[in-house]
Homo-oligomer: A and B are copies of this chain.
Amino acid sequence: MKLKEFAKQLGLSPTTVSRALSGYPEVSEVTRARVVQEAVRLGYRPNVNAVRLKTGRVGAIGVVMGRASEFHFAEFMAGMAERLITEDTDILVIPMANPEYDAEMQLYRRLAESQRVDAIIVHSPRPNDQRIALLHELGMPFLVHGRSDIDVPHPWLDIDNEGAVRRATSHLIDLGHTRIAMINGREGATYALHRDIGYRSALQSRGIEVDPQLIANGNFTDELGFRFARSFLEQPKRPTAFVAGSMMTALGIYRAARSLGLQIGRDVSVIAHDDVFPYLTADNMAPSLSATRSSMRAAGTRCADLVLQLLAGRSPTEIHELWPVELILRESTGPVRMPQT
């Protein structure tokens, strides 16, 4: 059913029908009501591609899917979806084959120039992220999930990683811990850097020296959590507490501790960052996991919202949201008990 045909059936011109459906004021309410009603009855829907060609809008937001942390990605997208469901806007997932820097830049360039998306969401930015410079230069609307200190203005939404980790670490210090290990995300991303800063500053402000032997970086997997924790715990002067970047890492740490006969919450304290997954909750771990918490899904929803605002004309330079992170104490943290080394 095309517009022309539909209009003829109603005895109106295409112009009037189009206006009625798009909510323009020039058409009387009586006519509009009739058009809308008939559109439903006869099943007329404007052809998306024609609308897009004419209006120049694509109706899609692009997100590039990297290789790492799919589980974060899925939650974020689910959040976006929640917001976009009411709009006529889709999510376009662009796979990234090659994590090399040049290839990545090329991908963003192609994406921006292809006119397949109205805006792009940039994930896991680096401190000096050229993707941001590129998108800015190309004039492609974008939103950064995370932050960068590149000197190009960019709209962003981030959580307070530094503050979160500082509080977590401080709390462990309050409990008497001094040998606190840090299992962070992969080096390079701003969030990992911020967490590192939070960790160091907490230690330093309490006069505790930072021991590079207790810091590790890597993907958020159970496997790496286990390996790092295990190697730390086998050191002669083993850590009595852990700060970890994800739930998966925490699972690995639990396993490592258990494998060495150490009890979580008594022999070893753990605080991890919880991105709030419906299928794995900190409260349900055994013992329940103390965590810094911030909902990845909520971030997705809000990012989608901000992108829509951006497209509606809101100035990019004024969009900066820093979300606080909760610290929730559960059973996995307790006062230090010196290992009998």
A residues with a Cβ closer than 8 A to B are 43, 45, 47-50, 52-53, 58-60, 65, 67, 69-71, 73-75, 77-78, 80-82, 84-86, 90-97, 110, 113-116, 219-223, 226, 248, 251-252, 255, 258-259, 277-281, 284-286
Query: A65 near B77 (CB under 8 angstroms)?
Result: yes
| Minimum distance in angstroms from A308 CB to a CB of chain B | 14
Number of copies: 2
Interface CB pairs A-B, < 8 A, 6: A45-B115, A70-B278, A71-B71, A74-B74, A222-B284, A251-B251
Beyond known contacts A81-B93, A222-B281: 19 more, CB 8 A cutoff: A45-B110, A45-B115, A48-B114, A49-B58, A53-B53, A59-B116, A60-B92, A71-B277, A74-B74, A74-B77, A82-B95, A86-B97, A92-B92, A93-B93, A223-B279, A226-B284, A251-B280, A252-B284, A255-B286
User: A333 CA to B70 CA in the complex, in Å?
Assistant: 30
Report B-chain residues with C-beta under 8 Å of the C-beta of A226: 284
Once bound together, how far apart are the Cα atoms of A284 and B281, in whole Å? 19
- Which residue of chain B has the shortest Cβ distance to A67 in the bound complex? B78
- Selected from B52, B91, B281, the residue in CB contact (under 8 A) with A95 is B91
Interchain CA distance A285-B52 in the complex, whole Å: 50
B115 touches A95 (CB 8 A): no
Closest to A50 in B: B53
Which 8 residue pairs across A and B have the least CB separation, nearest first?
A81-B95, A74-B74, A70-B74, A49-B53, A85-B97, A49-B52, A91-B93, A221-B279
Q: How far is the CA of A135 from the CA of B296 in the complex (A)?
A: 33
Q: Are A284's CB and B74's CB within 8 A?
A: no
Tell me how far the C-beta of A247 lies from the nearest C-beta in chain B, rounded to whole angstroms. 9
Interchain nearest-CB distance for A195 vs B (Å): 18
Contacts of A50 in B (CB 8 A): 53
CB of A124, distance to nearest CB on chain B (Å): 15
- A115 (CB) vs chain B CBs: closest residue: B48
Q: Chain B's nearest CB lies how many Å from the CB of A44?
A: 10
Q: Name the one of B77, B78, B113, B286 contacting A258, with C-beta atoms under 8 angstroms.
A: B286
A223 touches B281 (CB 8 A): yes
In Å, the complex CA distance between A258 and B75 comes to 29
